[in-house]
Amino acid sequence: MAEAAGILEVYGLTTAFVAADAVCKAANVRLEVFDKNKPANADALPVPLLVCMKFRGSVADVTAAMDAGLRAAEGLSGVVQHHIIPNPEEGTERMLKISGLDKD
């Protein structure tokens, strides 16, 4: 069985780092790649960059980690979206590895 995937999208890179730290301290999960998105309405957002972090582990660990990450991010610039995929399908597995942080 595949590992569960937690996906947490937040406003700004600083919030992403703080939330990722909380995620890793809360449960037995490992971080996968971060991804970035600068939407068309970036100037209307609290922070003009959205960062999506992905982390993996058992469903119970990913759930506990997500709760910690949400609390950390909501205390800073905020959460855009979050979701847990208990058993990602093969195509989804490939998509989870995509990252725009190392691209211009």
**Residue 102: what pLDDT?**
63
Q: Which of 3, 1, 7 is nearest to 96 (CA)?
A: 7
Stated pTM of the model: 0.89
Which tens digit of pLDDT belongs to each residue from 3-44?
Answer: 999 999 999 999 999 999 999 999 999 999 899 888 888 888
In angstroms, rounded to a whole number, what is the distance separating the alpha carbons of residues 30 and 39? 27
**Residue 48: what pLDDT?**
82
**Average model confidence (pLDDT) for the chain?**
91
**Residue 13: what pLDDT?**
92
pLDDT surpassing 70 at residue 1: no
Count other Cβ atoms within 10 Å, centred on residue 90. 7
Q: What is the mean pLDDT of residues 68-93?
A: 95
Tokens 């449960």, residue located: 27
In angstroms, rounded to a whole number, what is the distance separating the alpha carbons of residues 22 and 104? 28
